[in-house]
Amino acid sequence: MAIQVGDRLPDVELQVMGENGPEKVSTGQLCAGQKVVIFAVPGAFTPTCSAAHLPGFVVDADKIKAKGVDRIICTSVNDTFVMDAWGKAHNAEEIVMLADGMGDFAKALGLTQDRTANQMGIRSQRYAMIVDDGVVKLLNIDEKGLESTSSEAILAAL
């Protein structure tokens, strides 16, 4: 069953790129006492994710933070090196590029999709959520497109 509004985020250990290489971080640490926007993409460097989803949050990061958001997190079932390179390619300095390399976070949320037919394995669904001190306040999922998971949709919901 997928996570719902009102549920507490599962505390899963993932990775971010630190100054000296990959560093472990927990979703609990990232969200404790913070208002956070988390958005997930099926894959870094994939067409829609690279052309529209991540770039929208890069452009709107200041507007989102001006609405009281402490942190913006982008996650994908990719390794730390890929997430770091993808963030750098899009100048995503204001966004935490969170690597869910084994899909543990996506699985814990119940928000996976099977992309094995396209040789992509099990990936995250495309979603965006607003989380306040670890509790989900808004959860939008897009099967196709970015109508409810774009930075614009999140800005409108804040």
Tens-place pLDDT, residues 131-149: 999 999 999 999 888 899 9
**pLDDT of res. 119:** 75
Specify the long-range contacts of residues 83-91, CB closer than 8 Å, at least 24 apart: 83/16, 83/17, 83/44, 84/17, 85/44, 86/44, 86/45, 86/50, 86/54, 87/54, 89/45, 89/50, 90/50, 90/54, 90/55, 90/58, 91/58
Q: State yes or no: pLDDT of 121 exceeds 80.
A: no
pLDDT above 70 covers a percentage of the chain that reads 100
Q: Which CATH class is domain 13-157?
A: alpha beta
Nearest Cα to 44, choosing from 80, 91, 88, 76?
76
**pLDDT of res. 24:** 97
What are the sequence ranges of the domains in the chain?
A: 13-157
Is 49 among the catalytic positions? yes
pTM value? 0.94
At 20, the pLDDT band (50, 70, 90 cuts) reads very high
Write down the catalytic residue from 16, 31, 37, 49: 49
